[in-house]
Amino acid sequence: MRKVYLDHAATTPLREEVLEVMLPYFSQHFGNPSSIHWYGREIRKVVEAAREQAKALLGGSSGSIYFTSGGTESDNIAILGAAEALAKKGNHIITSAVEHHAVLDACKSLEKKGYELTVLPVNQHGLVSPDSLAAAITDKTVLVTIMHANNEVGTIQPIKELAAVARQHGVLFHSDGVQAVGQIPVNLDELGVDMYTISGHKIYGPKGVGALYIRKGVKVRPLYHGGAQEEKVRPGTENVAGIVGLARALELAVEEQRSLADTLLPLREKMIKGLTALPDVTLNGHTSLRLPNNVNISVDRVEGESLILSLDMAGIAVSSGSACTSGELEPSHVLMAMGLDHQTAHGSLRMTMGRSTSEQDIDYVLDVVPGIIERLRAMSPLKGEGGKQNVQ
């Protein structure tokens, strides 16, 4: 059976070129970068070179890269760390309704501790408006965190404009760029962000490693205590192989971003055109301010979970909403924030393409999906007159 992986927003396969540069750091180059002797000094150089390379690749000349255990930890250090460092200045933080749970839940944990939280709404395409951000900022606001590109619907936020609003008010701006890197151009100096999150395994690098960019002068209180690694922003012996892999993956992702986008855009358009031509299938998200690899649709009168299982049986790996929420019964918070009703949100499907996706894969999907939808609709309790209304 044909196997088609269309879940690159959940994770990507480690590239051969990345594995190759990582392997020596699991064996012969085993030193602890904090050691003073030769074994350590040699590894310290490697870690620092990876840091400088990552910084240059992201265009963040006015700050530093701190290596972490992944996107989730970077988001938490940025949000909890910055809010706590600025606790004397104010206790108000702002985020958006479509953030990844790593951001939303970190913000909610601050709210439980007595911080005031504003969750900005989005329009039907999932976009946050810079005007709504400006209106939400008060003299107590210390941090704004809004993602660069959405992991469920692929909507690309106007980060430069949003960051400019925060800067005008003297408020720190963090962005989760986990889905943006490698898919759209990213230049941190141009974006004007104070902090930016990336993750290894979303860019064909290893799992369990990520980075947080922090602009010079921005203070964050560490979440953990221990050694002085990563300037105490993230203590603990460095994941050297992971760091080497992350830097190489980032290098390849940035080098190949344009050509990957050029390959995926026509495939995305072909898939969207083919799927939305089917009866009662609609596109979620923006038509153009959208990641080149993302297709997210709602299929009326069908459960997203049933669609996933049927597609899985046909060898096609997709997801509904984010990987973290699939399996839960709650509909996607992203789709709900975009104004979809419960049932339409439940009937949603996310397909995210990647480096290995071919036109034949798309043809195969377009070949099998209509039959699956038809069969599921025939069995569905949601079918028939007023189906939309009589199911809650």
Ligand X SMILES: *Cc1c(COP(=O)(O)O)cnc(C)c1O
Residues that bind ligand X (CB under 6 A): 70-72, 75, 100, 102, 147, 151, 176, 178-179, 199, 201-202, 210
One-letter amino acid for residue 61 of the chain: S
What Å distances lie between residue 174 and 10, 163, 323, CA to CA? 22, 8, 23
CA distance 120 to 128: 7
* Alpha-helical runs (H) found in 38-87: 38-58, 71-76, 82-85
Catalytic residue, candidates 223, 283, 324, 366: 324
**Residues pairing with 7 in the sheet:** 352
Q: Rounded to 5 degrees, what are φ and ψ at 210?
A: -155, -170
CB nearer to ligand X: give 151 or 306: 151
CA distance 360 to 173: 42
CB nearer to ligand X: give 63 or 210: 210
CB nearer to ligand X: give 353 or 368: 353
**Is the separation of the CB atoms in 4 and 311 below 8 Å?**
no
Q: Could you tell me the smallest distance in angstroms from the CB atom of residue 23 to ligand X?
A: 21
Q: Could you tell me the smallest distance in angstroms from the CB atom of residue 382 to ligand X?
A: 30
Beta strands in the chain (DSSP E): 4-5, 63-68, 92-96, 116-120, 141-145, 172-176, 195-199, 210-215, 281-283, 294-299, 316-317, 348-352
Is residue 324 annotated as a catalytic residue, yes or no?
A: yes
**Is the separation of the CB atoms in 345 and 328 below 8 Å?**
no
Q: Could you tell me the smallest distance in angstroms from the CB atom of residue 24 to ligand X?
A: 24
Q: Could you tell me the smallest distance in angstroms from the CB atom of residue 183 to ligand X?
A: 11
**Is the separation of the CB atoms in 312 and 351 below 8 Å?**
no
CB nearer to ligand X: give 127 or 302: 127
Q: Could you tell me the smallest distance in angstroms from the CB atom of residue 68 to ligand X?
A: 9
Q: Which residue's Cβ has the minimum distance to ligand X?
A: 71
Q: What six digits make up the tokens of 4?
A: 């088609």
What Å distances lie between residue 127 and 11, 114, 122, 256, CA to CA? 24, 28, 5, 27
CB nearer to ligand X: give 246 or 373: 246
CB nearer to ligand X: give 43 or 77: 77
**Residues pairing with 144 in the sheet:** 94, 173
Q: Could you tell me the smallest distance in angstroms from the CB atom of residue 71 to ligand X?
A: 2
Q: Residues with catalytic annotation?
A: 324
